[in-house]
Amino acid sequence: MNELKVFTIKKNIHEDNKKTANETRDFLKRHGACFINVMSSPGSGKTTALARTIVELKAQLRIGVIEADVDSDVDARAIMQAGGKAVQMHTDGLCHLDATMARGGLEELGVEDLDLVFLENIGNLICPVAYDVGAAKSVAILSVPEGDDKPLKYPMIFEKVDALIVSKIDVMPHFDFQMRLLEERARKLNEDILIFPLSAKTGEGFSAWTDWLKAQIKA
């Protein structure tokens, strides 16, 4: 296991975000690494879902994660423990990542030896959505305890992502959450959205999600 890198990154206000994002996509294409931007609220289970994804796929794919947090390194340590390559990026209080910050993370991580790289974005349903970070695909995670009304209140993220993970489905009996209602509300905003209900605790639903990831790498 590599030593954990922790670094602080500052926003460059003069950048041309879209240009940097496109350069990142070209760079990753050359290296054959698929880059996925993962966004959600704090506490929706991003790290736990990614750690289980690594456990399920590590025999077949080499996976890295850029962990972005305001503070702490607990997430990057969890990823390394699952068998992934990880760097911890500190955002110095910022509420989102842009393409330059994501590129810094990719360079710190090193992508030459990876098939799949996740950016675990800052826990925030609003600000990160506005920034193209150079990813091939973007994924939102919504946990069952957050409620099936979130597409009504935070529509932008549901409009923008390619896929939606509905996490923590093992606790569904303890919450007033209707999957059909959530799906209807999400599809009303984005008719092409793929929805993967899953539980990182029981493993339920992971095969559909990991099959989709494998298809992205072949694409």
Query: Is 72 a residue that touches a second copy (CB under 8 A)?
Result: yes
Q: Which is nearer to a second copy, 86 or 114 (CB)?
A: 86
d(CA 165, CA 163): 7
Which of 37, 41, 121, 199 touches a second copy by CB under 8 A?
A: 41
Can you say how many angstroms the Cα of residue 45 is from the centroid of all Cα atoms in its chain?
A: 10
| Contact status: 69 vs a second copy (CB under 8 A) | yes
Q: Is 181 in the site for a second copy (CB under 8 A)?
A: no
Site membership for a second copy, residue 199 (CB under 8 A) = no
The C-alpha atoms of residue 175 and residue 146 are separated, in whole angstroms, by 9
Is 212 a binding residue for a second copy by CB under 8 A? The answer is no
Kindly provide the b/e burial profile for residues 140-156, where b requires at least 16 CB atoms within 10 angstroms of the residue's own CB.
bbbbbbbbbebbeebbe
Binding piece for a second copy, criterion CB under 8 A, among 11-19, 90-98, 107-115, 203-211: 90-98
Toward a second copy, which CB reaches closer, 84 or 123?
A: 123
User: According to the binding rule CB under 8 A, does residue 70 interact with a second copy?
Assistant: yes
203 binds a second copy (CB under 8 A): no
Q: Strands 5-8 and 85-90, how do they pair?
A: parallel
Would you say 122 or 193 has its CB closer to a second copy? 122
Which is nearer to a second copy, 45 or 84 (by Cβ)? 45
CA angle 131, 89, 27 (to 5 degrees): 60
Asked if 116 contacts 36 with a C-beta cutoff of 8 angstroms, the reply is yes
Question: Closest distance between a second copy and the C-beta of residue 162, in Å?
Answer: 20
- The residue range among 9-17, 37-45, 56-64, 210-218 that interacts with a second copy, by the rule CB under 8 A, is 37-45
Contacts of 194 by beta carbon, 8 Å cutoff, 6+ apart: 162, 163, 164, 212
Among 24, 124, 199, 210, binds a second copy (CB under 8 A): 124
Q: Select from 133, 140, 179, 134 the least CA-distant residue to 156.
A: 140
Using alpha carbons, select from 45, 46, 27, 26 the residue that is nearest to residue 37. 46
Q: How many residues bind a second copy (CB under 8 A)?
A: 33
Burial pattern 28-50, b for ≥16 Cβ within 10 A else e, equals beebebbbbbbbbbeebbbbbbb
In the complex, minimum distance from the CB of residue 59 to a second copy, in angstroms, rounded to a whole number: 27
Chain contacts with a second copy (rule: CB under 8 A): 41-43, 69-72, 74-75, 93-95, 122-127, 143, 145-147, 149-150, 152-156, 168, 171, 174-175
